[in-house]
Structure 1
């Protein structure tokens, strides 16, 4: 069983394995902070996303690289938005999406999907089913990160769907540690949705 799960790592440089483990640990810590509505989600998340940008470049997984580059930018934006206050209260508290948020989210998804497809075609990487799944999850993750930066509870729904899809996808790609990370992400996302929903019910 161990051989089946981790055999691919025997051909990887030790430094890449170490970087992936560090990225996984900080990624999990970041999502735990997100569940608790804690602004530390962003500085810890930045460590993970920056490391993944490098790792995924080495593995030529351009769709996932784009995701993590975008995460890095959105983490800076989210950090700024979550730190803003108005009259002593959070300017962007936990809330649900409105029609404008939905339209922006739909636009982000379509633009992202189109962009990733073009990138894969440019690098001649649209030759396997994983590229299509990668394009889909990229779109979902982009919208999820945007909604998280705006503290919209629906971000968790997108994380749950995209994380669950990513579990077998990352294992197939040869990143077993990252696959295990997405198992944790899926569980934490479910718990995060429930926790944010309880918070919303208290404020109504």
Structure 2
């Protein structure tokens, strides 16, 4: 019975949603699938999806999420450049890992920024769910940079951020976007497995 209610709610939302949200969702899925395969074309899909979401999130008062999309636009260009750029040895960027100390510093920084901006939004704006909005925003800022640098652990970060985002979007009645993030949670697991295998293969190749 409960499952049927969820399906009915999603169907109703799908009927009422804009074609812009449909386009953003399709492009966002294309980005993730292409990124899993390390295809540089993923950044074109990311740019298109991000441009649409910039306006969609502003329209539903997710102010930090809307601001995040501007950062995503810049990162889409930066990621495209990083993935196609070759170093002095003619080599493209390879999958790599960050040391534990770097992760601890990043997590501390995201925590401080979440509390600070969450309080600021709660005190000075009518932003919805300000602390969750801030957490997903600043977490995504760091994690998107990790993707541009092909840092393996980005998939673990995305798993947490996407799971929290599902609740955030359900609360704002962006049902199709919430459903997209359910797919994300599943796909990031496969993304991690694929990148991890590629990383191990690269480590096994003699220098």
Normalising by the residue count of structure 2, what TM-score does the alignment of the two structures yield? 0.84
1:1-204 pair list within 5 angstroms: 1=5, 2-7=7-12, 17-86=18-87, 87-90=89-92, 92-98=93-99, 101-102=102-103, 105-106=106-107, 109=110, 112-113=113-114, 114-115=116-117, 117-125=119-127, 130-204=129-203
Deviation at 1:139, TM superposition (A): 2.0
Specify every segment of 5 or more residues in structure 1 that has no aligned partner in the other structure, as ranges: none
* Contact 1:117-1:135 at 8 Å conserved across structures: no
Which range moved further: 171-180 or 59-68?
59-68
The 3 A distance-change label for structure 1 pair 146 and 105 is farther
The 3 A distance-change label for structure 1 pair 173 and 124 is closer
The 3 A distance-change label for structure 1 pair 121 and 72 is farther
Alpha-carbon displacement from aligned partner over 1:112-167 (angstroms, at most 9, x marks no partner): 42345434433243xx6x32222222222111101111110011111011111212
For residues 112 and 76 of structure 2, the distance between their equivalents in structure 1, rounded to whole angstroms, comes to 20
Deviation at 1:178, TM superposition (A): 0.0
Normalising by the residue count of structure 1, what TM-score does the alignment of the two structures yield? 0.85
Alpha-carbon displacement from aligned partner over 1:15-71 (angstroms, at most 9, x marks no partner): x61101100000000000111111111111010011000111111210211222221
Alignment length (residue pairs): 196
Dislocated runs of 4+, deviation >2 Å: 1-10, 98-122
Specify every segment of 5 or more residues in structure 2 that has no aligned partner in the other structure, as ranges: none
What value does the CA root-mean-square deviation take over the aligned residues? 2.3
The 3 A distance-change label for structure 1 pair 54 and 124 is closer
* Contact 1:78-1:148 at 8 Å conserved across structures: yes
Say which SS state the counterpart of residue 29 (structure 1) adopts.
Answer: helix
The 3 A distance-change label for structure 1 pair 68 and 104 is farther
